[in-house]
């Protein structure tokens, strides 16, 4: 089933929001290498409503991100409406994705994310989603889990469709499961069969072969990849090519990501890149040496010096724009 805002036919390959990883530099990289659609990291509507400065930076997008949805988490109607009114005035945001799946304890305690799937929170869920859809001038999607502790995916999906949600991303676990066990594709398939809006399957997609299996089994319109893209954002390119990319291509992706981190964060980008460097280095030659150098890099000069040295000869090279993040 087609998603109209994409202007192309399925299957679609989305980057699922992942806190502290899927920031603007990471999203820029995956868009350049085959990802069809990106979402901001999850943002609380309260922070948007109060014009939090950090939140404004989180809502920024790169020129490559088209379409781009901001993902919001809400636990009250009033601030949900205020947040949507603010987003309505930001031209470069193409839509809003409602988070109904976040399983972390902070979200549960605060009453947003996956906890809204509980039966006891059903009326609040209806009010929040209805208010967002009614207030928004942009398309609305939602990302949900199969339920909180019991599977209610078909019921909640049909409800969201009736409330005006235009497409769904469904993660194949309950909130209580967190990331334990295997994703339940049978339940995602049931959602696909019982709604008349596009459904994107999410959970445990780690390579192009798994993506093909999930698409064929569930008949979903696409797959969304979160944890599976950490350390290998080229997964989207492999899905488009239906095959593994070369080591040279992987190096290009890694160095492009580093470059984007410096452009966006300035010197602090080196520190933030360390977690990505550790993920990238798994299974590559001289991995421990590479991780050590990244951990020692206290500023851009050190990073550039390492990349230009003989010790980094196994890296083919890139252009690093040392311009204080001007572009």
Tens place of pLDDT for every residue, the chain, 327 residues? 888 888 889 999 999 998 888 999 999 999 988 899 999 999 999 999 998 888 988 999 999 999 999 999 999 999 999 999 999 999 999 999 999 999 999 999 999 999 999 999 999 999 999 999 999 999 999 999 999 999 999 999 999 999 999 999 999 999 999 999 999 999 999 999 999 999 999 999 999 999 999 999 999 999 999 999 998 899 998 988 888 888 888 888 888 888 888 888 888 887 888 888 778 777 666 666 666 666 665 544 565 555 556 666 555 555 555 444 444
pLDDT for residue 326: 42
Q: Phi and psi dihedrals of 316, rounded to 5?
A: -75, -25
**DSSP state for residue 229 in the 8-state scheme:** G
pLDDT for residue 290: 62
Q: Sign of the C-alpha dihedral, residues 251, 256, 257, 258?
A: positive
| Domains defined along the chain, listed by start | 7-241 (3.20.20.70), 247-312 (no CATH)
Q: Which residue stretches of the chain are H helix?
A: 24-32, 45-49, 53-58, 77-88, 105-110, 122-135, 153-163, 185-194, 208-218, 235-241, 247-265, 268-280, 287-296, 300-308
- Rounded CA-CA distance 243/8 in Å is 22
- 238 CB-contact burial (10 Å; exposed 0-12 / middle 13-18 / buried 19+): buried
- Rounded CA-CA distance 223/14 in Å is 6
pLDDT for residue 321: 52
pLDDT for residue 146: 98
Among 99, 36, 107, 46, which Cα is nearest to 70's? Answer: 99
- Rounded CA-CA distance 126/22 in Å is 28
pLDDT for residue 150: 96
Query: So which residues are the catalytic ones?
Result: 102
């Amino acid at each position: 089933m087609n998603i109209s805002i994409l202007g192309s036919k399925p299957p679609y390959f989305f980057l699922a929001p992942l806190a502290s990883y899927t920031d603007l530099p990471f999203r820029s990289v995956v868009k350049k290498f085959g990802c069809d659609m990106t979402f901001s990291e999850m943002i609380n509507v309260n922070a948007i409503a109060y014009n939090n400065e950090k939140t404004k930076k989180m809502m920024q997008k790169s020129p490559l991100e088209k379409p781009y949805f901001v993902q919001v988490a809400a636990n009250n109607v009033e601030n949900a409406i205020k947040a949507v009114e603010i987003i309505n005035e930001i031209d470069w945001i193409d839509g809003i994705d409602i988070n109904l799946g976040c399983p972390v304890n902070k979200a549960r305690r605060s009453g947003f994310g996956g906890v809204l799937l509980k039966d006891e929170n059903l009326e609040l869920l209806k009010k929040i989603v209805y208010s967002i859809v009614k207030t928004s001038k942009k398309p609305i999607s939602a990302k949900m889990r199969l339920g909180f502790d019991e599977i209610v995916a078909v019921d909640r999906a049909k409800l969201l469709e009736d409330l005006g949600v235009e497409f769904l991303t469904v993660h194949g676990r309950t909130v209580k499961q967190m990331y334990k066990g295997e994703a339940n594709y049978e339940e995602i398939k049931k959602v696909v069969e019982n709604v008349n809006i596009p459904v994107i399957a999410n959970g445990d997609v780690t390579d192009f072969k798994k993506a093909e299996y999930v698409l064929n089994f569930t008949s979903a319109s696409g797959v969304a990849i979160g944890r599976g893209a950490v350390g290998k954002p080229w997964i989207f390119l492999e899905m488009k090519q239906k095959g593994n990319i070369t080591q040279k291509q992987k190096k290009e992706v890694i160095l492009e990501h580093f470059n984007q981190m410096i452009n966006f964060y300035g010197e602090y980008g080196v520190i933030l890149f360390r977690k990505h460097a550790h993920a990238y280095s798994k299974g590559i030659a001289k991995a421990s040496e590479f991780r050590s150098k990244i951990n020692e890099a206290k500023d851009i000069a050190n990073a550039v010096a390492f990349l230009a040295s003989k010790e980094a000869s196994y890296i083919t090279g890139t252009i690093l724009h040392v311009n204080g993040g001007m572009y």
